[in-house]
């Protein structure tokens, strides 16, 4: 399998210097101190090392590593990971994200096989697959998602698969045609933030387009739950978050994740505020009232953290995961 990591990649200031809405580098002395409810598990355990070895042997990437997820220690320690296919370079420059920007290499046709082998070695029953944005591909990478899903189902017919997809900007119809032929068990696409902040937080993306993508997949594959997530602490208000939650329900989304944005480096978007656990609780309860089948709402919640539990809860009825329970 060909190593899918080009020599040139942009991170930090090199990545965000060309975003449309400029912002200054955070002064270390003015950076908001993290409150005591922001805590992550130490990532230097033997199980973490074992899992990293398996991933390197199969030349696979995880979003856990590439985006420096704070929950890496816990997830890897429990033998779970969110696989990031199609390489480690993204064609977008989202200033909240720590995944590197650059010109990706061609797709590796052996990646679906390597992914299946790795999932078998890990003994997983639930797998989350995500990707970088691939605006260089005519289908946005949908065909590669479908190939990975098909390869997993061929060798592991009982496997539960969640895909966390990009927005397939300009290619949504083609992408949905492909994905609906090899559907996952859960279809996830994150809105990330409220529409007022889109140009600042998700340059190149469109709020209404993302909502439509979620709705159209749900219409094509009506038995498969759709899912989305938001980061809080980027300058949004609770009323704006509740409005987005209503938009998601109006577009048929059943599963919601809400978590605290954490700044990857001083060059990324600053944290405007740390949302306290009580506010997360209240938003989770508001989600229950408007009909989400499952809400995970807490400071350390991430879109694919405990994804298997989210999916099970969605199938058996609403069981909110609130406050500090969930990263």
Higher-confidence residue of 243 and 301: namely: 243
Pairing of strands 100-101, 126-131: unpaired
CA atoms within 13 A on the CB side of 1: 22
Report if residue 104 sits inside a domain.
Answer: yes
Q: What span, in angstroms and rounded, lies between the C-alpha atoms of 221 and 191?
A: 20
Same domain membership, residue 277 and residue 319: yes
Residues 289 and 204 occupy one common structural domain: yes
Same domain, 45 and 168: yes
> How does pLDDT run across 159-193, given as a tens digit for each residue?
999 999 999 999 999 999 999 999 999 999 999 99
217 and 177 assigned to the same domain: no
Structural domain count, the chain: 2
Whether residue 180 is found in the same domain as residue 198: no
Same domain, 152 and 213: no
Listing from the earlier edge strand, what are the strands of the sheet with 160-164? 61-62, 82-85, 126-131, 160-164, 186-188, 226-232, 255-260, 294-297
Do 174 and 64 sit in the same domain of this protein?
A: yes
Question: CA geometry: angle at 89 spanning 86 and 94, to 5°?
Answer: 115
Q: Tens digit of pLDDT for each residue in 28-65?
A: 999 999 999 987 665 667 777 777 787 778 888 776 66
208 with 294, same domain: the answer is: yes
3-state class of 124 per DSSP? coil
Task: For residue 3, count CB atoms less than 10 angstroms from its CB and return exposed for 0-12, middle for 13-18, buried for 19 or more.
Answer: exposed
- Cα of first residue to Cα of last residue in the chain, in angstroms, is 33
The verdict on residue 34 lying in a domain is: no
pLDDT at 310: 73
Does residue 298 surpass a pLDDT of 90?
A: yes
The rounded Cα 202 to chain-centroid distance in angstroms is 13
Tens of pLDDT, residues 188-214 = 999 999 999 999 999 999 999 999 999
- Total residues found in the chain within this entry: 327
Condensed to tens digits (0 to 9), the pLDDT of residues 126-168 reads 889 999 999 999 999 999 999 999 999 999 999 999 999 999 9
pLDDT band at 13 (very low <50, low <70, confident <90, very high): confident
DSSP annotation of 264 reads S
Range of the domain at 156: 40-184
Last residue of a domain, one of 140, 156, 184: 184
Helix intervals (H) in the chain: 12-16, 46-57, 63-66, 72-77, 111-122, 142-155, 172-179, 198-201, 207-220, 238-250, 277-289, 307-316
Domain annotation covers residue 150: yes
Per DSSP bridges, beta strands 226-232 and 255-260 are parallel
Parallel, antiparallel, or unpaired: how do β-strands 100-101 and 89-90 relate? parallel
- Last-in-domain residue among 150, 184, 218: 184
Same domain, 151 and 270: no
Task: State how beta strands 100-101 and 226-232 pair.
Answer: unpaired
The last residue of a domain, from among 140, 155, 184: 184
The answer to whether position 31 is within a domain reads no
CATH of the domain at 260: 3.20.20.70
């Amino acid at each position: 399998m060909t190593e899918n990591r080009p020599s040139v990649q942009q991170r930090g200031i090199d990545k965000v210097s060309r975003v449309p809405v400029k912002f200054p580098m955070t002064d270390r002395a003015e950076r908001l101190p993290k409150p005591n409810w922001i805590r992550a598990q130490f990532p230097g355990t033997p199980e973490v090392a074992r899992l990293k070895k398996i991933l390197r042997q199969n030349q696979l990437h995880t979003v856990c590593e590439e985006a420096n997820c704070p929950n890496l220690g816990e997830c890897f320690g429990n033998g779970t990971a969110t696989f990031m296919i199609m390489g480690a370079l993204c064609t977008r420059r989202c200033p909240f994200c720590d995944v590197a920007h650059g010109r990706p290499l061609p797709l590796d046709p052996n990646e679906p096989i390597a992914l299946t082998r790795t999932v078998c070695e890990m003994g997983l029953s639930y797998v989350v697959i995500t990707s970088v944005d691939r605006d260089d591909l005519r289908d946005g990478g949908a065909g590669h998602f479908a190939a990975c899903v098909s390869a997993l189902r061929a060798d592991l017919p009982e496997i539960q698969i969640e895909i966390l997809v990009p927005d397939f900007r300009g290619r949504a119809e083609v992408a949905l045609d492909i994905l609906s032929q090899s559907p996952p068990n859960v279809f996830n696409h994150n809105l990330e933030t409220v529409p007022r902040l889109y140009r600042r937080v998700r340059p190149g993306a469109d709020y209404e387009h993302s909502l439509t993508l979620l709705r159209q997949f749900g219409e094509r594959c009506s038995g498969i739950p759709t899912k989305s997530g938001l980061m809080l602490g980027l300058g949004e208000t609770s009323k704006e978050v509740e409005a987005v939650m209503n938009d998601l329900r109006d577009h048929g989304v059943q599963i919601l994740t809400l978590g605290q944005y954490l700044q990857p480096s001083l060059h990324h978007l600053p944290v405007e505020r740390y949302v306290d656990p009580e506010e997360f609780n209240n938003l989770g309860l508001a989600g229950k009232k408007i009909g989400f089948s499952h809400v995970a709402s807490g400071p350390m919640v991430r879109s694919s953290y405990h994804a298997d539990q989210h999916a099970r809860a969605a199938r058996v009825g609403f069981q909110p995961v609130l406050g500090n329970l969930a990263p």
